[in-house]
Structure 1
C-alpha cells in the first residue's frame, strides 16, 4: 500500500498535515516528513502537543494525512504528494512508544495511524 514513491517522498523534508474531525469540525496539525516512522501499514508520529487532535480522535478515529516533496518526480513534473486515509490512536506506553522515545526524546505520546489507503496526488 505504501509504495516506493511514498518512501522517496519521505526521504526529503516536507510538511505533513494531519486532519482530524470532532464535534467542533475539522482540525489540522502539522509535523515533518522526517518525523514519520513506518512499520508495516502503520505510521508512527511523535506527539508533544496535538491535544485537540487527541480529543478529536477519541470521538472519531478517522484521519487524513497529506505529505509531499517538490524534489520527487510526480506524474508529469517535479513535485508529488500523497493523501493517506486511516484510523488513529495515541500510544503512551509499550515497545513502539519506547522505540519512538529513543528517536524523539521530546514526545509525550505517539500518534499511530493505521493506513487504509494511500493515493498519490500529483
Structure 2
C-alpha cells in the first residue's frame, strides 16, 4: 500500500509532523523520518517518549494525519523535495511485540505509536 518513494524518503533526514485532534482541539507534534519503521504493507511504528497530548487525543479519536518529506528526492514537479500526507489510525503501546522490537532499536522510548495507514497522498 505504501508507495516505494515513501520508503526512500524515510532514508533521509526530515521532520515528520503528526496531527491529532479531539474535543475541537488540535495537537501537532513531530518526530524524525529515520525513526519510523515500516511493518507490513500499512503499519508504521514510531518510537515515543512524550507525545502525551497526542496519546490523550488518540484515546478519544484514533485518527492521525502525518506529513513526511525530504528535500533529497525529486518531487511531483521535477524540483528537489517531495512529501506525503498519510491518513491513519493510531494507538500507543507500552508492551507487546511491537513495543519490544522498537525498544530494542531505541532504548530511550517509553511507548511505541502504532499507526495503521488508511491512505497516502503525495503532496509535493
Give the TM bin, normalised by the shorter chain: over 0.9
Matched residue, 2:16: 16
Question: Deviation above 3 Å: which 4+ runs of structure 1?
Answer: none
Stretches of structure 1 lacking an aligned partner (at least 5 in a row): none
TM-score using structure 1 length: 0.97
Displacement, 1:24? 4.8
Q: Deviations over 1:36-95 (max 9, x none)?
A: 000011110001000010000001000000010011011121100000001000111111
Alignment of 1:17-32 (within 5 A): 17-32=17-32
Matches within 5 A, 1:29-44: 29-40=29-40, 41-44=42-45
Aligned twin of 1:80: 82
Q: Secondary structure at the match of 2:103?
A: helix
Aligned length: 122
